[in-house]
Amino acid sequence: MKRRVLNIACIGAGYVGGPTMAVIADRCPDISVTVVDLNEARIAAWNSDALPIYEPGLAEIVKRTRGRNLRFITQAEGAAAIAQADAVFISVNTPTKTQGEGAGKASDLSYVESCARYIADHATGHTLVIEKSTMPVRAADTIKRILANGKGGATFHVLSNPEFLAEGTAIRDLEKPDRVLIGGEDPDSIEALAEVYRHWVPEKAILRTGLWSAELSKLAANAFLAQRVSSINAISALCEATEADVDEVASVLGSDSRIGPKFLKSSVGFGGSCFKKDLLSLIYLCEFYQLAGPAAYWQGVLDINEWQKHRIAELAAAHARRNGGIVAILGLAFKKDTNDFRESPAIDVCNQLLAAGLQLRLHDERVEAQAFSACLTRGTKSVRFCGSIDEAVEGADAILVLTEWDRYAKLDWSALFAIAAHGASVFDGRAVIDRVAARAAGFKVYSVGKG
């Protein structure tokens, strides 16, 4: 039976659910979209002028769609929206399990399971239930089992429609996706969801697969992307030892059409809510299916990332320890153009510097100081959050760049040299600063992957 999706509900108003639903509402004026979240403060923020997440272009879209065909409500008010929905997206977080079987590796599906129960209790008629969050392979089995035991008389089809947006470019990625992936078992349900995306995505970019391939493709895509960063970071250390330049090497690699130029920027390490969690989930799946070789292979990608963060932190720590012990950290977000610092390399680097007894002065363009301080394991006595770059750098013995914010690429190094401590060095963990200007100003400069 052919069906049309006219009412959408989405559970989870986070970095994925919020922007994705805003773009669907923007591009599909004939569809009514309701975003539901347990967190009342987050919903209040979505309904205010100070949105809970920073993403270029997002505020403008929310402004023109909110109150038209997009609304944000709390889960307590959400039952009617689920009852009305033809399609419910599950966009809640799937963190790494901290206890029970698979602790430390497997994804925790308890939020997904509670969403499935909530949908089972409130849905009416025939409802598509769509996995938007990244899930382990065969998570749809769990959702189907819960839906089948629901009290209401609704019927369901489960689809996997993983989101490939990257933070910082979420709106661009959603508006012009490389591809939209829909995995499922029922062709009519797949087409009903494809019809939503056809409002703005070309048909050839809408890929259809089986459920399990869709679930696994998302995990594998993140693992491949993380693997590229670890590969170039492994080369960065060799560049430093051999006086090669990692950006030159990357540009040669990237000009081979089989390799391609993207995702070859050497860094202090990858962060973000997905790569580590999804690699751990993949490793757990490999182990579960007794595939020790593949598990060790993907573990290697994570190990290089830890090693890279550690070695760059140690370079800055060693210099600061020999001098006055003050380190300015420029950048806390896991990448530029987001206020997100989940799994940011800055967390591990800061904790390592604090463990070495150093004093930290932290600056970021968007990350809230209060929220970040909760990630620091040694309390905040040795830490000062600074409202300006000058305040962070004043008196610092080492300046450590951890996020590639555009502003850090354009710093006035002469002015900073005048206020930094005597003999201060710069450690650029993103290879973004103007090294020539920093050296000309008088700084000693280390830059990742630059021999």
In the complex, which residues of this chain contact ligand UDX (CB under 6 A)?
Answer: 11-17, 37-39, 42, 75, 91-94, 111, 114-115, 133-134, 163-167, 222, 225, 229, 263-265, 267, 270-275, 334-335
| Residue 341 to residue 370: CA distance in whole angstroms | 12
Among 115, 239, 274, 386, which one carries the catalytic annotation?
A: 274
| CB closer to ligand UDX, 173 vs 397 | 173
The values of phi and psi at residue 393, to 5°, are -85, -25
| Residue 430 to residue 402: CA distance in whole angstroms | 6
Show Cβ contacts of residue 231 under 8 Å, excluding neighbours closer than 6 positions: none
Torsion angle, alpha carbons of 345, 347, 350, 354, to 10: -140
Q: Which of 419, 310, 314, 317 is nearest to 358 (CA)?
A: 317
User: Residue 342 Cβ, how far from ligand UDX at the closest point, in Å?
Assistant: 8
| CB closer to ligand UDX, 94 vs 227 | 94
274 is annotated as an active-site residue: yes
Residue 123 contacts residue 152 (beta carbons within 8 Å): yes
| CB closer to ligand UDX, 127 vs 134 | 134
Residue 25 contacts residue 199 (beta carbons within 8 Å): no
Show Cβ contacts of residue 306 under 8 Å, excluding neighbours closer than 6 positions: 269, 348
Q: Which residues of 264-300 are buried (b: 16+ CB within 10 A; e: fewer)?
A: bbbbbbbbbbbbbbbbbbbbbbbbeeeeeeebeebbe
User: Residue 296 Cβ, how far from ligand UDX at the closest point, in Å?
Assistant: 22
User: Residue 58 Cβ, how far from ligand UDX at the closest point, in Å?
Assistant: 13
- 67: phi > 0 → left, psi -120 to 50 → alpha, else beta; which? left
Show the tokens assigned to 199.
């409002």
Residue 416 contacts residue 428 (beta carbons within 8 Å): no
| Residue 321 to residue 326: CA distance in whole angstroms | 8
Residue 419 contacts residue 412 (beta carbons within 8 Å): no
Q: Which residues of 398-429 are buried (b: 16+ CB within 10 A; e: fewer)?
A: bbbbbbbbeebeebebeebbeebbeebbbbbb
User: Residue 115 Cβ, how far from ligand UDX at the closest point, in Å?
Assistant: 6
Q: Which of 57, 248, 266, 239 is nearest to 165 (CA)?
A: 57
| CB closer to ligand UDX, 17 vs 184 | 17
User: Count of CB atoms within 10 A of residue 79's CB?
Assistant: 14
| CB closer to ligand UDX, 7 vs 161 | 161
| Residue 373 to residue 227: CA distance in whole angstroms | 29
User: Residue 226 Cβ, how far from ligand UDX at the closest point, in Å?
Assistant: 7
| CB closer to ligand UDX, 3 vs 265 | 265
Residues annotated as catalytic (active site), given as ranges = 274
